Protein backbone atom coordinates (compact mmCIF):
# COMPACT_ATOMS: atom_id res chain seq x y z
CA UNK A 1 0.00 0.00 0.00
CA UNK A 2 0.91 3.65 -0.38
CA UNK A 3 3.15 5.01 2.37
CA UNK A 4 0.59 7.36 3.94
CA UNK A 5 3.20 9.33 5.87
CA UNK A 6 4.86 10.38 2.59
CA UNK A 7 1.81 11.71 0.77
CA UNK A 8 0.89 14.39 0.05
CA UNK A 9 4.29 15.98 -0.46
CA UNK A 10 5.37 19.58 -0.64
CA UNK A 11 6.52 18.91 -4.20
CA UNK A 12 3.92 19.47 -6.91
CA UNK A 13 4.73 16.17 -8.65
CA UNK A 14 5.60 12.76 -7.35
CA UNK A 15 6.27 9.48 -9.18
CA UNK A 16 5.02 6.31 -7.54
CA UNK A 17 6.34 3.03 -9.01
CA UNK A 18 4.26 -0.02 -8.12
CA UNK A 19 6.15 -3.24 -8.87
CA UNK A 20 4.90 -6.05 -6.59
CA UNK A 21 6.39 -9.57 -6.60
CA UNK A 22 3.18 -11.06 -8.08
CA UNK A 23 3.31 -13.98 -5.67
CA UNK A 24 -0.30 -13.62 -4.49
CA UNK A 25 -3.44 -14.00 -6.59
CA UNK A 26 -4.80 -10.55 -5.71
CA UNK A 27 -1.70 -8.51 -6.63
CA UNK A 28 -3.29 -6.75 -9.61
CA UNK A 29 -6.27 -5.67 -7.51
CA UNK A 30 -3.95 -4.42 -4.80
CA UNK A 31 -2.03 -2.40 -7.41
CA UNK A 32 -5.24 -0.68 -8.50
CA UNK A 33 -6.18 0.02 -4.87
CA UNK A 34 -2.73 1.51 -4.16
CA UNK A 35 -2.97 3.71 -7.25
CA UNK A 36 -6.44 4.89 -6.22
CA UNK A 37 -5.20 5.69 -2.72
CA UNK A 38 -2.21 7.62 -4.05
CA UNK A 39 -4.41 9.62 -6.43
CA UNK A 40 -6.82 10.31 -3.59
CA UNK A 41 -3.97 11.80 -1.56
CA UNK A 42 -2.29 13.63 -4.46
CA UNK A 43 -4.34 13.88 -7.65
CA UNK A 44 -1.31 14.87 -9.75
CA UNK A 45 0.69 11.73 -8.82
CA UNK A 46 2.37 10.04 -11.75
CA UNK A 47 1.57 6.44 -10.86
CA UNK A 48 3.33 3.66 -12.76
CA UNK A 49 2.21 0.05 -12.35
CA UNK A 50 4.43 -2.63 -13.89
CA UNK A 51 2.59 -5.87 -14.66
CA UNK A 52 3.35 -9.18 -16.38
CA UNK A 53 1.41 -10.29 -19.45
CA UNK A 54 0.46 -13.93 -18.92
CA UNK A 55 -3.25 -14.52 -18.40
CA UNK A 56 -5.43 -12.43 -20.73
CA UNK A 57 -8.58 -13.13 -18.68
CA UNK A 58 -6.95 -11.81 -15.52
CA UNK A 59 -5.65 -8.77 -17.39
CA UNK A 60 -9.10 -7.98 -18.79
CA UNK A 61 -10.42 -7.53 -15.25
CA UNK A 62 -7.31 -5.52 -14.34
CA UNK A 63 -7.93 -3.16 -17.27
CA UNK A 64 -11.57 -2.74 -16.22
CA UNK A 65 -10.52 -1.99 -12.64
CA UNK A 66 -7.93 0.52 -13.85
CA UNK A 67 -10.50 2.29 -16.03
CA UNK A 68 -12.60 2.77 -12.87
CA UNK A 69 -9.63 3.87 -10.72
CA UNK A 70 -10.53 7.56 -10.79
CA UNK A 71 -7.25 8.53 -12.47
CA UNK A 72 -7.56 11.79 -14.44
CA UNK A 73 -5.87 10.00 -17.37
CA UNK A 74 -4.25 6.59 -17.72
CA UNK A 75 -1.93 5.38 -20.49
CA UNK A 76 -1.35 1.67 -21.17
CA UNK A 77 1.96 0.62 -22.77
CA UNK A 78 2.67 -3.06 -23.43
CA UNK A 79 5.57 -4.92 -25.00
CA UNK A 80 5.20 -8.56 -26.09
CA UNK A 81 8.00 -11.02 -26.80
CA UNK A 82 5.62 -13.97 -27.37
CA UNK A 83 1.95 -14.16 -28.45
CA UNK A 84 -0.24 -12.97 -25.58
CA UNK A 85 -2.46 -16.08 -25.55
CA UNK A 86 0.09 -18.54 -24.07
CA UNK A 87 -0.72 -18.70 -20.32
CA UNK A 88 2.19 -21.04 -19.58
CA UNK A 89 4.86 -18.33 -19.77
CA UNK A 90 5.64 -14.66 -19.44
CA UNK A 91 4.71 -13.20 -22.82
CA UNK A 92 5.59 -9.60 -22.14
CA UNK A 93 5.07 -6.80 -19.71
CA UNK A 94 3.11 -3.63 -19.40
CA UNK A 95 3.00 -0.27 -17.72
CA UNK A 96 -0.17 1.50 -16.65
CA UNK A 97 0.77 5.17 -16.20
CA UNK A 98 -1.52 7.68 -14.54
CA UNK A 99 -0.87 11.33 -15.37
CA UNK A 100 1.95 10.53 -17.81
CA UNK A 101 4.33 13.41 -18.49
CA UNK A 102 3.71 15.42 -21.62
CA UNK A 103 5.43 13.86 -24.64
CA UNK A 104 5.71 10.35 -23.18
CA UNK A 105 3.02 8.93 -25.46
CA UNK A 106 4.85 10.15 -28.56
CA UNK A 107 8.19 8.80 -27.32
CA UNK A 108 6.67 5.39 -26.56
CA UNK A 109 4.97 5.33 -29.98
CA UNK A 110 8.43 5.60 -31.54
CA UNK A 111 10.25 3.23 -29.15
CA UNK A 112 7.78 0.35 -28.74
CA UNK A 113 7.86 -0.91 -32.36
CA UNK A 114 11.68 -0.92 -32.30
CA UNK A 115 11.77 -2.70 -28.92
CA UNK A 116 9.26 -5.30 -30.13
CA UNK A 117 11.42 -5.98 -33.17
CA UNK A 118 14.64 -6.21 -31.16
CA UNK A 119 13.33 -8.18 -28.18
CA UNK A 120 10.65 -10.34 -29.78
CA UNK A 121 11.42 -14.02 -29.35
CA UNK A 122 8.73 -16.19 -30.94
CA UNK A 123 6.77 -13.08 -31.90
CA UNK A 124 7.10 -9.44 -30.86
CA UNK A 125 4.31 -6.95 -30.52
CA UNK A 126 3.21 -3.85 -28.70
CA UNK A 127 0.17 -1.83 -27.67
CA UNK A 128 -0.16 1.80 -26.65
CA UNK A 129 -3.53 3.29 -25.82
CA UNK A 130 -5.50 5.25 -23.27
CA UNK A 131 -7.55 3.39 -20.68
CA UNK A 132 -8.73 6.77 -19.43
CA UNK A 133 -8.50 9.77 -21.75
CA UNK A 134 -8.12 13.23 -20.31
CA UNK A 135 -11.50 14.89 -20.03
Active centre residues (catalytic): 19
Judge whether 55 lies within some domain. yes
Judge whether 33 lies within some domain. yes
Q: Minimal CA–CA distance to 13: which of 47, 36, 37?
A: 47
**pLDDT digits over 117-135, tens only?**
999 888 889 999 999 998 7
CB atoms within 10 A of CB 103: 8
Q: How confident is the model at residue 4 (pLDDT cuts 50, 70, 90)?
A: low
Q: CA dist 5 to 9, 33, 37, 40, 46, Å?
A: 9, 17, 13, 14, 18
Judge whether 1 lies within some domain. no
Judge whether 2 lies within some domain. no
Q: How confident is the model at residue 55 (pLDDT cuts 50, 70, 90)?
A: confident
| Domains in the chain, number | 1
Judge whether 106 lies within some domain. yes
Q: How confident is the model at residue 8 (pLDDT cuts 50, 70, 90)?
A: low
26: containing domain: 14-132
Amino acid sequence: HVPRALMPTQEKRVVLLIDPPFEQADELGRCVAALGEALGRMRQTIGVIWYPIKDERQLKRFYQDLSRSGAPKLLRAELLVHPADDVSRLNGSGLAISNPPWGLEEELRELLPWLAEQLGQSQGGWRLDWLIEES
